[in-house]
A and B are shown apart, each in its own frame.
Chain A
Amino acid sequence: MSRLPLEQKVLSENDRIAAGLRERFLAHRVFCLNFISSPGAGKTSLLERTLERFSPKERVALLTGDIQTDNDAKRLARSGFPVKQITTGGACHLDARMIERALADWPLESLDTLLIENVGNLVCPSSYDLGEAAKVVLLSVPEGEDKPLKYPSIFFKAELLILNKTDLLPYVSFDLAKARAHALQVHPGIEIIEVSCKTGAGLEDWMKWLAQRRESAKAGETPASGQV
């Protein structure tokens, strides 16, 4: 019996495709974000509110992943921006190959911003690089403030945490200060924005973050992220 060392990433094939996507995004100056949360935390609502706030001249497109149905694509298409549904047919996450396929007939030259809504799942999507500039994690207040400690991987890898549904704070026992502290415990330096897609509170802060982050990405700056 002999033991052969084999130092390579398990998901090296996904990482290879993601690296190719990242290179293409850079070459075409496309700013790409990957939105991750558990089901029902409000990814689609946040994207709807975001698209409403973009000028129709903005060159924005969306990819939205779900296990079944194209309900989200239908909701998002009302904005008038190009939207494509990726139906994974059972897979609990999007992987880089699905993105590559979805983009095959979408000319990147016509885009400045690509927003990817991952499958609702706080665990699996965190393992798959999609070539994005940054991951954004959403946590809604009914889910409880201990989620960053229970699911550290995604909070560690995300650059921004959006605490959504703050309009429900009077009705649920959710400690905002604790939620912030837990996220910062897992990922010192993670940025945090509180929003309510219902009332619109905090959405301007989010739009500002998005605009600034897009500028710094175009300027080629690498942000501080949780990636080791």
Chain B
Amino acid sequence: MHELSIANSILESVRKERERLNGARVTRVGVRIGALAGVDPDALSFGFEVLVKGTDLEPLALAIEWTPRRHECPHCKHVFTVVDYQFNCPACGAAATRCIGGDELELAYLEVEET
């Protein structure tokens, strides 16, 4: 259960960005979480709500974009989403494909009210 501290890191970044934007009203923060990140989206949303409640950041919404594990085939360069640990290239059948994404734990965007 480290989602609470991850939620806290997200809020620290929001505060920092808000300062940079001269105190603009931030209404939503978008984060990208990969299947390999080891972060549970439900627990993160719950921790986020708890931490925002009663603070000057309220109301602030969290939008989570879930990204799957992606592999690239070294032979035919085909990029595909891995489902159920099936790593063989669906295009040419090659076995030794390379992981190129899926461990994201990133802040993607902020939505800010126009002033």
Asked if B113 contacts A127 (CB within 8 A), the reply is no
CA distance A226 to B99 in the complex (A): 8
CA distance A8 to B9 in the complex (A): 12
Asked if A152 contacts B35 (CB within 8 A), the reply is yes
Asked if B9 contacts A11 (CB within 8 A), the reply is yes
- Answer yes or no: B109 CB below 8 A from chain A CBs: yes
Asked if A4 contacts B112 (CB within 8 A), the reply is yes
Asked if A91 contacts B114 (CB within 8 A), the reply is no
Q: Knowing A10-B13, A13-B12, A226-B99 touch, does A124 contact B107 (C-beta < 8 A)?
A: no
A2, A11, A126, A186: the one contacting B111 at CB < 8 Å is A2
Give the contacts of B63-115 with A (CB-CB under 8 A): 85, 87, 96, 99-103, 105-114
Closest to B1 in A: A92
A8, A95, A123, A185: the one contacting B106 at CB < 8 Å is A8
- Answer yes or no: B57 CB below 8 A from chain A CBs: no
- Give the one of B5, B37, B105 with max A CB within 10 A: B5
Which label, helix, strand, loop or mixed, suits the secondary structure of the B interface? Answer: mixed
CA distance A142 to B66 in the complex (A): 32
Task: Name the B residues within 8 Å of A149 (CB-CB).
Answer: 85
- Answer yes or no: A1 CB below 8 A from chain B CBs: yes
In the assembled complex, the CB of A16 is this many whole angstroms from the nearest CB of chain B, namely 12
In the assembled complex, the CB of B37 is this many whole angstroms from the nearest CB of chain A, namely 6
Asked if B38 contacts A6 (CB within 8 A), the reply is no
Asked if A4 contacts B13 (CB within 8 A), the reply is no
CA distance A157 to B38 in the complex (A): 11
- Answer yes or no: B51 CB below 8 A from chain A CBs: no
Number of interface residues of B (CB under 8 A): 36
CA distance A227 to B105 in the complex (A): 13
Task: Name the A residues within 8 Å of B102 (CB-CB).
Answer: 228
Task: Name the A residues within 8 Å of B17 (CB-CB).
Answer: 4, 6
B13, B38, B112: the one contacting A127 at CB < 8 Å is B38
CA distance A148 to B39 in the complex (A): 16
Contact with A along B1-44 (1 / 0, CB 8 A): 11001100110110001000100000100110001111100000
Task: Name the A residues within 8 Å of B111 (CB-CB).
Answer: 1-4
Contact with B along A63-106 (1 / 0, CB 8 A): 00000000000000000000000000001110100000000000
Contact with B along A1-23 (1 / 0, CB 8 A): 11111111111111000000000
Task: Name the A residues within 8 Å of B5 (CB-CB).
Answer: 91, 95
Closest to B17 in A: A6
Q: Knowing A3-B110, A127-B38, A149-B85 touch, does A10 contact B9 (C-beta < 8 A)?
A: yes
Task: Name the A residues within 8 Å of B9 (CB-CB).
Answer: 10-11, 13-14
Which 3 residue pairs of A and B lie closest in terms of their CB atoms, listed nearest first?
A: A153-B38, A124-B2, A126-B38
Residue ranges of A at the interface with B (Cβ–Cβ < 8 Å): 1-14, 91-93, 95, 123-124, 126-128, 149, 151-154, 156-157, 185-186, 188, 226-228
Q: 16 A-B contacts, Cβ less than 8 Å apart?
A: A1-B112, A2-B111, A3-B30, A3-B112, A4-B21, A4-B111, A7-B108, A10-B6, A10-B10, A10-B13, A11-B9, A123-B2, A149-B85, A185-B85, A228-B100, A228-B101
